[in-house]
Amino acid sequence: MDLAKLVSLIDSRCLFFSRADKLGDPFEGSYPRGNVSARQSWLAGVLLESEPGALASLVARLPEMNKQWPKYHAVNCWHMNDHESAAMWKLYLKSSEGIAVQSTYQRLRGSITDDEKVYFSMVKYIDYENDAIAEGNFLFPFFS
């Protein structure tokens, strides 16, 4: 982080969480192609068995609803490799000057006092063209 963010962290004793849609990744919080295809097939089968009007309207709105989720989720990212990464320094700094804060998962997790609203997970990097992620939790796309 840069010096200003470090001073803010020390002064406020709070971590900064960025809205997920402000991270610069247009796919942040989105579902991979495998999920979208499977969902469309499943919904097509449901439409045949139920009232098509209401469900068809929902199906038509799903892609736009999914695009809105990153606006309502905030994230704070940490790097867990054993070695520093030049790519991470470039991503998180606007200049060539920065400060690395080192911690452990347990210490970071223990420092968060608002357990009901903060969720921890390691990010699993996947191939969005060929892989799918688990369904059933709106946070899963933010961890993949």
13-31 residue pLDDT tens: 888 889 999 988 888 888 8
Closest C-alpha among 142, 136, 137 to residue 122? 142
**30, amino acid identity:** S
Interval 108-137: pLDDT, tens:
988 888 767 888 888 888 898 999 888 878
> Are the C-beta atoms of residues 136 and 69 closer than 8 Å to each other?
no
What's the mean per-residue pLDDT of the chain?
83
Domain count of the fold of the chain? 1
Residue 88: band (very low, low, confident or very high) from pLDDT cuts 50, 70, 90: confident
pTM of the predicted protein model: 0.73
Element (H, E) at 116: none
Distance CA 131, CA 32 (A): 7
Interval 75-85: pLDDT, tens:
988 888 888 88
Tokens of 101: 């804060």
> Which of the two residues, 50 and 68, has the higher pLDDT score?
68
pLDDT of residue 19: 94
The residue assigned the tokens 């699993």 is: 124
Residues pairing with 18 in the sheet: 75
Domain containing 15 equals 3-142
Residues pairing with 75 in the sheet: 18
| Torsion angle in degrees (nearest 10) through CA of 65, 67, 69, 73 | -170
